[in-house]
Amino acid sequence: MNQQRLTNLLDDLLGDLQDPGLMWQLGAIAASMLLGWGLSRLLRKWMRGDAAHTGVRQFGLESFGRVVGPLAIVCLLALSEVVLARWHHINLIKLALPIFGSLAAIRFVFYLLRRVFSRHGEVGAALLTFEKIFQLVVWVAVALYILGYWDDIHRYLDHIVIHLGKNKMTLADILQAALSVVVTLVLAMWAGAALEERLMHVETLHSNLRVVMARVGRAVLIVVAVLFSLNMVGIDLTVLSVFGGALGVGLGFGLQKIASNYVSGFIILLDRSLAIGDMITVDKFSGRVARINTRYTVLQGLDGIESIVPNEMLVSGVVQNSSLTSKYVWIGTRVAVSYETDLDFVLKLLEEAAASVPRVLSERPPSATLLNFGADGLELQLGFWIADPENGRGGVTSDVNRAIWKALKEHGISVPFPQREMRIVGPISTAGTLPEIRQNEA
């Protein structure tokens, strides 16, 4: 039967080659290709020229631009088939339709996968390998469809019965269920990614609220997609109650810590105790909050090292947040001057030196105070405020100390340091014994 179908296909194509209407088919295919690829090229050129689309959004739009070309070709070929079928044979167009349709399907799947799994614009090796395998499978399926082997393969799979307890399912039903679950799951994840991207651009909402809405929306879409796909292939959803009970027992025993971290993640996002960009210190970890995931939070230190902190630590432990209600942070530095120094003058000099540093706030002016009468000199403290703790404290403290040192040198103010005086008591003995040595502080 398949041999007869292949023979008929070749006879139809050879008949079209002798038909004067062949030029209409070739013209329709060529026009469809030119219009489709031209539309795709213009769309991608417009996307590159639009400065408003950058980063991940630009990557996603360019990927979708690659889908437009073959999709437009398929639509134009379908229209040409309807128009030319009244006057000419259309066997060549019928052969071109599944070829360009498979190309459109491949490009569309690539677009969905990259929007879900490569949202930062970087395509991993695993995703590239899967795309090549999927592309090969699609082309093989198209070749089998053109040759007429699809019906035979479906009948063969439909005769393979697999016993699942008291139920019986054919291999064709299982493959169809798996395919529907995968397709609906990928579509749900793509919709969740699009929803998250849209929410992240809503500046009127708090950043934590945007993250919560995006995570909840994605979870709801995935659950609905799985339930819909299982119901669509005829699987009874009541069997999931057994799985739900087993999952509850597992969470109560083996997955208690994981469940606690997930719940803690939503608590952090909802009570707004932390937000992306805050400078925090928890246990021995400190840094800027880079990401708040459902299980852990990523802290990026000023040295570039990222720390993965479980959310349970942020809920049950003590957390220092430098920018919870205000980003203003007070920093102090100490210096000592000699007792002969004019105290009022040097205090004012220190305040002026700190005020000259750009990162020091002028609306909260620096303040210098006398701390103690030290053994080597007057111990002074200079306090100042900054509004950008995410840029670190070491740099601004160094700048203030350098300004203080420069001001003290310009005005001839000495900074005392511990000195020791050594006295030799008694004459120096020639017998090799050392005299008594006394040390006094100068």
Write the CATH number for 401.
3.30.70.100
- For tokens 């040192």, the residue is 405
- Condensed to tens digits (0 to 9), the pLDDT of residues 92-120 reads 777 777 777 787 787 777 777 777 776 55
Q: Which residue has the higher pLDDT, 101 or 297?
A: 297
Q: Please count the structural domains in the chain.
A: 2
Looking at the DSSP bridge assignments, the partners of residue 291 are: 298
Domain edge (last residue) among 159, 185, 215: 159
Residue 293 per-residue DSSP state = -
pLDDT at residue 155, as a whole number? 78
| Alpha-carbon gap, residue 78 to 296, rounded angstroms | 51
Enclosing domain of residue 390: 329-410
User: How far is Cα 265 from Cα 131, in angstroms, rounded to an integer?
Assistant: 34
H/E element holding 383?
strand 378-386
- Residue 55 is predicted with a pLDDT of 46
- Can you read off the two tokens belonging to residue 315? 């809920």
User: Is residue 181, in this structure, part of any structural domain at all?
Assistant: no
Among 105, 129, 159, the domain boundary falls at 159
Structure confidence at residue 369 (pLDDT): 92
- pTM for the whole structure: 0.49
Which residues are CB-contacts of 386 (< 8 A; sequence separation ≥ 6)? 328, 329, 331, 359, 360, 361, 393, 396
Residue among 110, 78, 72 nearest 94 (CA): 78
Closest CA to 60 of 44, 74, 49: 44
Q: Please report whether residue 25 resides in a domain.
A: yes
> Is there a domain that residue 272 lies in?
no
Q: Between 253 and 368, where is the model more confident?
A: 368
When pLDDT is cut at 50, 70 and 90, the band that residue 166 belongs to is low
| Residue 439, domain member (yes or no) | no
| 359 within domain boundaries | yes
Burial of 128 (0-12, 13-18, 19+ CB in 10 A): exposed
Q: Are 286 and 297 in contact (CB under 8 A)?
A: no
How is 38-98 classified by DSSP, letter by letter?
HHHHHHHHHHHH-TT--HHHHHHHHHHHHHHHHHHHHHHHHHHHHHHTTTS--HHHHHHHH
In a domain, 209, yes or no: no
Confidence (pLDDT) at 393: 82
**Final residue of a structural domain among 111, 138, 159:** 159
Domain-embedded: residue 89? yes
Average per-residue pLDDT for the chain: 76
**Greater model confidence, 287 or 21:** 287
Assess contact for 359 and 399: CB atoms under 8 A.
Answer: yes
On whether residue 268 sits in a domain, the answer given is no
Q: Which of 8-17, 105-114, 124-133, 264-273 is least confident? A: 8-17
